[in-house]
Amino acid sequence: MPESIEKMASRSSRALVFGVGGGGDILGTLPTSKYLNTLGVETILGGVSWERVVFDPKPGPRSLEEIQNIEKISDSTAYTYKDSHTREGVYFQCSNMANFLNKRTIIVDVSKTAREISRGLQETAEKLDLNLIIGVDVGGDILAGGSEPGLRSPLCDGTILAALSLMKIPTAIAVFGSGCDGELTLDELIGRYELVAKNSGYLGARGMTPDDFSIMSKAVKYVKTEASLLPLKAWKGEHGVFKIRDGARSVNLSIISTISFYFDTKTVYSLSPIGKALRNAKNFQDANKRLHKLGLTTEYDFELNYVKNGKSAGMG
């Protein structure tokens, strides 16, 4: 039986809590970070090097080598500061969060393979004395089975899921803002949550608190995101159908969107055809092709199409 977040926290002094599904997911790390703080765990926030194409016109994630004003920790991780940006002047949501917090954050290079990312995170954990890593996905498509019609961003989530499944230190998957990215429906998500629970991988849940709402409301003035913004509306009692991505996606918003659900990483991985397909990818392009073989269109494909034809795409 996997351990609860509380039990993992009881043996942890410092944790990395990072957004796994796109740059904007870093906003969704705040409730889990504050939760761990109440349990006596120091936290550092992080995110991935993949911004929505409306913010970064280059399709796909950025490598650390493309980012200026960072401090490398490993080949796939680095400290980011408020002035960390690409040569073209693209600022990351990790940079924006660092600006808000007035402290550095960690960016994870998702142009690397799952195994490279795992090694980099392990090295980061050893250098920074991390005892726990929690990957936060806003929306919940990290739990996707792959057959969901609305699935749009399996590549980033799946790569991080595969990477975390290889870690030696304790890890967990958190889903915040269920359905807020407009990909999986609430019914589909609940079905996946229940499947993980049937396989003994459900670790519990925690709702947003007034303190969470307060800090997120301040942070959103810095961090650019659509999906992670919606739980703030739900916390105030707003509900119903909301349009995001210039009207391309619909979100059925409810109070459920204010809850962080926690899952055992290895259980989620064991139920993920996407994560399994990506674990041994040789490089980024190979990872993308592996998902094509599953019949999936990825966020990278959408971004290439966006740049070529101006069609809606993106994450976060």
256 φ, ψ (degrees, to nearest 5): -60, -30
**CA 127 – CA 73 distance, rounded (Å):** 8
Decide which of 243 and 19 is more confident: 19
33 φ, ψ (degrees, to nearest 5): -60, -45
Average pLDDT over residues 207-226: 97
- Over residues 33-71, the pLDDT tens digits come to 999 999 999 999 999 999 999 899 999 999 999 999 999
Quote the mean pLDDT of the chain.
Answer: 96
Residue type, 268: V
Range with the lowest mean pLDDT among 6-20, 132-146, 242-256, 295-309? 242-256
| Whole-prediction pTM | 0.96
pLDDT, residue 249, reads: 83
Q: What percent of the chain has pLDDT over 90?
A: 91
pLDDT, residue 257, reads: 96
- Over residues 85-116, the pLDDT tens digits come to 999 999 999 999 999 999 999 999 999 999 99
CA atoms within 13 Å, Cβ hemisphere of 104? 13
Joined together, the tokens standing for residue 65 give 């080598």
Joined together, the tokens standing for residue 314 give 């993106």
**CA 155 – CA 288 distance, rounded (Å):** 7
pLDDT, residue 226, reads: 86
pLDDT, residue 242, reads: 87
pLDDT, residue 308, reads: 87
Question: pLDDT grade, residue 316 (50/70/90)?
Answer: low
**CA 287 – CA 280 distance, rounded (Å):** 8
102 CB neighbour count, 10 Å cutoff = 7
pLDDT at 255 > cutoff 70: yes
pLDDT, residue 311, reads: 57
Domain spans of the chain, in order of start: 5-308
pLDDT, residue 313, reads: 44
**CA 265 – CA 165 distance, rounded (Å):** 6
- Over residues 150-164, the pLDDT tens digits come to 999 999 999 999 999
